[in-house]
Amino acid sequence: MIIDLLITVSLVTGGIFGFVGSFGLLKLNDPMSRMHAPTKATTLGVGGVLIGSMAHAWAYEGHASAHELLITLFLLGTAPVTANFLAKVYINQQTKPSDLPGPGACALWATHDKSEHQPPTEQPKA
Amino acid sequence: MKLLNRLLPHPLLTLMLTVIWLLLVNRFSLNSLLFGFVLGLLIPVATQPYWPNRPKLKRPIKLVPYVALVMWDIVVANFAVARIVLFMPNSKRKPAWVEIPLDIRTPEAIAMLGGTITMTPGTLTADISAEGRSLLVHCLHAPDVDEIRNEIKTRYEARLKEIFG
């Protein structure tokens, strides 16, 4: 009974936060802010579902399940990287160095610093 | 000792891979422990070019309270972001870019700080400066930019500095 309640509560919590994450994508009005909703609200959304799944495996299938811990680990490891890649694409395509605060001691932010990636200029043939 | 170093370039990575393999199998047995250990031996050697240096951990034990703190902050972050998404009209929300000057220098510590910032309340790491001296952070709602900068520096960066030295 109590374990059923725990499973239900965590599933519903997970569902609500998953919904908030998706709703944020619709509601927020600029690309950078839109990235906040899925990276954060979704961690607790997925987390709730995983806690429910672990409690279910423990109570009804009679064994502890560790797969959920792995999913958490991989999620925490990969979500920041995805967000960072999306942010870099946005900075590259939509901003100029003057749109952002200056990077302290350095001249440019890494995405704007294209000096290393320029194709080598062709030498005129003699 | 040198041979051991060649065979085991990253002991921590080996340990981690073994544990991950055991979790993947989802049931403890000597077979899977051995196979996990073989994977833990082979993968670090095969990926050696990507890991030229062994990351230095000065006080690895302090990682435990740090991870607990970040986990707690992630839960709080979820509620804070949910409240902003659901109840704050877009016209009242003030998104902002913040520049965080870095005191930490090792790539592992900076990567970890970047990940932490992305997962915690209303902030998201967007970029690093060309020479790796500061991070560019985007805030979902930032009435006071300096306060956010101070919080990140004292709450996370100071702790990471102790861990990575």
**Residue numbers in A near B138 (CB within 8 A):** 32-33, 35-36, 87
Contact A83, B127 (CB under 8 A): no
pTM: 0.80
Tens digits of per-residue pLDDT, A44-95? 888 888 888 888 888 888 777 788 888 888 888 888 888 888 888 888 888 7
Which range of residues forms the domain containing residue A63?
Answer: 2-99
A contact residues 73-112, partner B, Cβ 8 Å cutoff? 73, 76-77, 79-81, 83-84, 87-88, 90-91, 100-112
A114 part of a folded domain:
no
- In whole angstroms, what separates CA A112 from the centre of its chain? 22
Considering only CB atoms, B128 lies closest to which of A28, A80, A110, namely A110
Total of domains in chain A:
1
Q: Of A98, A116, A87, A20, whose CA–CA distance to B78 is shortest?
A: A20
- In terms of Cα–Cα distance, which of B47, A82, A65, B29 is closest to A90? A82
Give a yes or no: residue A118 inside a domain. Answer: no
Name residues whose C-beta falls within 8 Å of residue B81's C-beta, 6 or more positions apart in sequence: A20, A24, A36, A37, A40, A41, B121, B122, B140
Q: Identify whether A29 is part of a domain.
A: yes
**Does a structural domain hold residue A87?**
yes
Half-sphere exposure of B70 (CA within 13 A, CB side): 22
**CATH of region B60-164, choose from 1.10.3470, 3.30.70, 3.20.20, 1.20.1640:** 3.30.70
Give the domain ranges of chain B. 2-50, 60-164
Q: What is the pLDDT of residues B19-63, one digit of tens each?
A: 888 888 877 788 888 998 898 888 888 887 877 777 777 787 888
Mean pLDDT value of segment B73-102: 84
Q: State the Cα–Cα distance between residues B100 and B64, nearest whole angstrom.
A: 25
A47 found inside a domain: yes
Nearest CA-CA partner of A32 in B87, B117, B135, B138? B138
CB contact under 8 Å between A33 and B130, yes or no, is no
Of A37, A95, A65, A29, nearest to B122 by C-alpha is A37
